[in-house]
A and B are shown apart, each in its own frame.
Chain A
């Protein structure tokens, strides 16, 4: 076959070779990347999904920092046994405000996609501090030190702004009330009306002694997992059907 530019010409001209290589690699890259440009339109909006509350967001940072995803997945796959054990299969919208998502690929511990509300706060605290005190066969490390470390709230606004840049719809009002919302969610005797109007279903945790610890934030985060969408709600069913899924 005669190409318009011969192989020997390309091989002897570094710039031409470079450009030809670039074009070839770009085709492969574009095929993988371009479909993601439309990801916003491919994820079905499902009623109930909201951005993480300030405390949950910082708790999520702890989850990432401690590498929880190395042993825990957050995706209930479309398999019968998983549905029987964990509940409704995970849907795309449930991780639409996760940057990055925490689907994970390993289950040394159980899946956490719907762990929120499954256990009481007291259990969560005790289990994170000393897993074997409640589950003797557990091989999870102790995270008692999280209860001794104050939560670094000065990164909160920056974290929320980064999320805004990535497409999470925090409003100006959310940013202004962020610190108040964080405090409200951490203490059982605070006024929760504003928090719950902005972040429905947020679980109020039980910070002790006036200081919010990293453990409080982690518990708040774990307790919202899987609780945003109410699958008994007919509107959710309709939204999923419209997508052509179940």
Chain B
């Protein structure tokens, strides 16, 4: 390949000296501004690499002259956020919950903080505004499985229900039908009786027999009138709210193979201020005792 650099007669510029089958290549330099931008970029990258964490070095890395690290940056940023809220949120977390609720200023903050935390953490199960769903109790009525006072709600949020936490509420209804404690016909009879308790059926010929079965098997936990027992988490049956549905089929299902929902423990996930705020928010949804 000839490497003779010659002047191109049309443009007056030099060729590179390369020639392919008579075609020659002009040696037009890159625009000066472009080269300058490129050089600045290289210089910027070098300075940036020196200032910030950049190059891996075996088991460590170049940490940068500024000593910046993303985990420290976020820790600082979270600390700033907490500091901004600290005065109030810390007090909300530290004070006994009744005192927080009694202080109008703290309560206002707690309601707002609770609303935000509820949307992220509670709404997926309990629904928007805590209306509840089949299997997930409503929080906006005075239907409470384990009690509806502020300390009750606070405790449930902290430790949960059947969550595996040592302080969680525990209860287990016997599987009367499945385990053969009641015969299928008896399950139906007692289910019909329970249905009369909240008015989806009128008392009929089997009601007396149903009441007898109810007294023997159910009243110990659910109370003689089906009013429920919050200490043991036995839901009221003479109630318009039914966790697993208010049809006869749902009652029979629950007597045969009872379900018990799990509420997670939140004290490992949320700080005390947020938990107290949530309790106050839930209490204020409409059913707080």
Q: Are A and B subunits of one complex?
A: yes
Contact A8 B3 (CB under 8 A): yes
Nearest CB of chain A from residue B62's CB, rounded to whole Å: 11
Contact B56 A127 (CB under 8 A): no
Nearest CB of chain A from residue B89's CB, rounded to whole Å: 12
Give bound CA distance, A18 to B201, whole Å: 89
Contact A38 B59 (CB under 8 A): yes
- Choose from B73, B81, B121, B124 the contact partner of A123 (Cβ within 8 Å): B124
Confirm or deny: B43 has a beta carbon within 8 angstroms of a beta carbon on chain A: no
Which residues of A sit under 8 angstroms from B268, Cβ to Cβ?
Answer: 230, 232
Nearest CB of chain A from residue B5's CB, rounded to whole Å: 13
Give bound CA distance, A67 to B1, whole Å: 55
Contact A79 B1 (CB under 8 A): no
Contact B56 A126 (CB under 8 A): no
Nearest CB of chain A from residue B15's CB, rounded to whole Å: 14
Contact B264 A119 (CB under 8 A): yes
Which residues of B sit under 8 angstroms from A89, Cβ to Cβ?
Answer: 71, 74
Interface residues in A, total, Cβ within 8 A: 34
Nearest CB of chain B from residue A43's CB, rounded to whole Å: 10
Question: 1/0 contact trace for A31-68 toward B, CB 8 Å?
Answer: 00001001001100000000000000000000000000
Give bound CA distance, A114 to B189, whole Å: 46
Contact A134 B263 (CB under 8 A): no
Nearest CB of chain B from residue A190's CB, rounded to whole Å: 16
Interface residues of A in 1-39 (CB under 8 A from B): 8, 11-12, 35, 38
Which residues of B sit under 8 angstroms from A35, Cβ to Cβ?
Answer: 56
Nearest CB of chain A from residue B178's CB, rounded to whole Å: 13
Contact B135 A126 (CB under 8 A): yes
Question: 1/0 contact trace for A92-127 toward B, CB 8 Å?
Answer: 000000000000000000000000011111110011
Contact A134 B262 (CB under 8 A): no
Of the listed stretches A80-88, A154-162, A163-171, A172-180, name the one at the interface; the rest are far from the partner chain: A80-88
Contact A133 B133 (CB under 8 A): yes
Confirm or deny: B239 has a beta carbon within 8 angstroms of a beta carbon on chain A: no
Give bound CA distance, A2 to B92, whole Å: 77
Contact B71 A245 (CB under 8 A): yes
Which residues of B sit under 8 angstroms from A41, Cβ to Cβ?
Answer: 58-59
Contact B125 A134 (CB under 8 A): yes
Contact A117 B124 (CB under 8 A): no
Nearest CB of chain A from residue B162's CB, rounded to whole Å: 8
User: B-side binding surface: helix, strand, loop or mixed?
Assistant: mixed
Which residues of B sit under 8 angstroms from A83, Cβ to Cβ?
Answer: 74, 78
Confirm or deny: A150 has a beta carbon within 8 angstroms of a beta carbon on chain B: no
Give bound CA distance, A42 to B121, whole Å: 34
Confirm or deny: B247 has a beta carbon within 8 angstroms of a beta carbon on chain A: no
Contact A80 B78 (CB under 8 A): yes
Which residues of B sit under 8 angstroms from A246, Cβ to Cβ?
Answer: 69, 71-72, 74-75
Nearest CB of chain B from residue A143's CB, rounded to whole Å: 16
Confirm or deny: B286 has a beta carbon within 8 angstroms of a beta carbon on chain A: no
Which residues of A sit under 8 angstroms from B263, Cβ to Cβ?
Answer: 120
Contact A122 B262 (CB under 8 A): yes
Nearest CB of chain A from residue B76's CB, rounded to whole Å: 9
Question: 1/0 contact trace for B42-67 toward A, CB 8 Å?
Answer: 00000000000000101111010000
- Choose from B3, B77, B136, B262 the contact partner of A121 (Cβ within 8 Å): B262
Confirm or deny: B21 has a beta carbon within 8 angstroms of a beta carbon on chain A: no
Beyond A78-B74, A89-B71, A246-B72, whether A119 also contacts B59 by CB under 8 A is no
- Choose from A79, A118, A244 the contact partner of B264 (Cβ within 8 Å): A118
Which residues of B sit under 8 angstroms from A38, Cβ to Cβ?
Answer: 56, 58-59
Give bound CA distance, A80 to B60, whole Å: 26
- Choose from A11, A136, A244 the contact partner of B1 (Cβ within 8 Å): A11
Nearest CB of chain A from residue B147's CB, rounded to whole Å: 20
Confirm or deny: B203 has a beta carbon within 8 angstroms of a beta carbon on chain A: no
Which residues of chain B have a CB within 8 Å of any CB of chain A? 1, 3, 56, 58-61, 63, 69-75, 77-78, 81, 120-121, 123-125, 127-128, 133, 135-136, 259, 261-264, 268-269
Q: Assuming A134-B124, A230-B268, what are 14 further A-B pairs, CB within 8 angstroms?
A: A38-B58, A38-B59, A42-B61, A80-B77, A80-B81, A83-B74, A83-B78, A117-B269, A119-B125, A123-B125, A126-B135, A134-B127, A245-B69, A245-B72
A–B pairs, 17, beta carbons within 8 Å = A79-B74, A80-B78, A83-B78, A84-B81, A87-B269, A118-B269, A119-B124, A120-B263, A120-B264, A123-B124, A123-B136, A134-B136, A135-B123, A135-B124, A240-B71, A244-B63, A246-B69
Which residues of chain A have a CB within 8 Å of any CB of chain B? 8, 11-12, 35, 38, 41-42, 78-80, 83-85, 87, 89, 117-123, 126-127, 133-136, 230, 232, 240, 244-246
